[in-house]
Amino acid sequence: MKVFVSACGEGLGHTARVLALRKALERAGHETVLAGYGPSLEVMRKAGAKTFETFPEVKMKGKGGRFNLVSSILRSYDTPLDLMRSYMRERWKIGQMRADAVVSDSRLSTVIAGSIAGLPTFYVTNQSEFQLPRLPVVGSRRLRVLRILSKAQLPAEAVRRMVDMPLSVPYSFSDQVLIPDFTPPNTICLPLLSKDLEMKKKTFFMGPMNELCFGRPKPAKWSSRKAKVLVTFGGQQFRAGLLGDVVKAAKKMPEFEFMIAGMFVKTDADVGNLRLRKFLPEVAPYAAAADFLVIPAGHSSIMEAILLEKPAIIVPDKGQPEQESNARMCHELGLGRMLPVDRLNELNGALEKLKTEEEKHRAKLRRLADAARSSDNGALNAVRMVEEFVERIRY
């Protein structure tokens, strides 16, 4: 087969998933072209993929680890134009390469292009229902906030519908919706999935779609007599303000050794129990060498922690319903502990509790990781579904 695959470039989680899918497709003898933009496209190119440049559809905005829904909507004001340009470019490429199937990881233009081309079209997502951020109601401000909420009910519903509409459009254009997560009840993104029967009929649980499903990385050289903690921030720029909070909290925990890595670190340095690294050639080997992780609550980051069998402190972007839901589910399933971004000063207590319950967490992580390397290998399962669909209509 020839398969056209695209990935949303907000963060690098979507990119990691399509790279795993590409590996599985090419191992099975199929040809792929990966569409992306910005840093996502660069990662695809460095991985040696045959690539195609497209346009962004969504732009995420926030500050200090807090996601801003309104700013993100306003920042994406040119989305209709980018969507049309993306559709036209991708539709041309799909025809030019004579694709047999189309796979989109969270990109609307791609499923429209695949559907209009009349090809089997698959949509990869870990969220099929939009949720508005929850407003806190605390202390003496409770009545005032309740009044505001009651008055804001219609505007909030209008915003929900405005955002939910473009999120739900891809499902009508796709033949099958692929969830890169474990089957229920162990599905991290389960609260984020639509309960609509028509959606359920085209929804399939693949298992994690990640290259770590194909094998564990060799741990990096990181020697220490202390418990080792790797802290990463993911690819969103608005998390930059969290670096100072994490460093401040880590300095108060001499019983742990921290490696804090990411684009927000200005220079490499070893200070006390801290190792600051601006750049790691590969994160997975250092995560494999660590005892514990501190990670954002992006779906792919959580899947990687599970596959590496590492108990994690999961820090969701404040006001980002998807991440807050992911973090809560991990906590409830016993895979790690949720720590709100505005309570990073409590990192010490959270790590101590994680260490105390380490064996219990590891047993659950091991069971899921073993499944992901066998029956729940999302990339292999997706390849099988695409192959069967394409073969079924070849007559």
Residue bearing tokens 């680890």:
65
Q: 63 pLDDT exceeds 50? A: yes
Mean pLDDT, rounded, of the chain = 87
Tell me which of 162 and 254 has the higher pLDDT: 254
Q: What is the mean pLDDT of residues 244-273?
A: 91
Tell me which of 265 and 276 has the higher pLDDT: 276
Written as six digits, the tokens of 253 are 């925990």
pLDDT of residue 181: 98
Q: How many CB atoms lie within 10 A of CB 306?
A: 27
Q: What is the mean pLDDT of residues 92-117?
A: 97
pLDDT of residue 327: 96
Torsion of CA 79, 82, 83, 86, to 10 degrees: -160
Domain residue ranges in the chain: 2-154+166-214+376-392, 227-372
Q: Return the CATH fold of 2-154+166-214+376-392.
A: Rossmann fold (3.40.50)
pLDDT single digits (tens) 340-378: 998 999 999 999 999 999 999 999 999 999 999 999 999
Nearest Cα residue to 283 out of 337, 219, 370: 219
pLDDT of residue 163: 52
Q: Return the CATH fold of 227-372.
A: Rossmann fold (3.40.50)
Sequence-separated (6 or more) residues with CB below 8 Å from residue 124: 14, 17, 18, 21, 103, 104, 105, 106, 177, 178, 179, 180, 209, 382
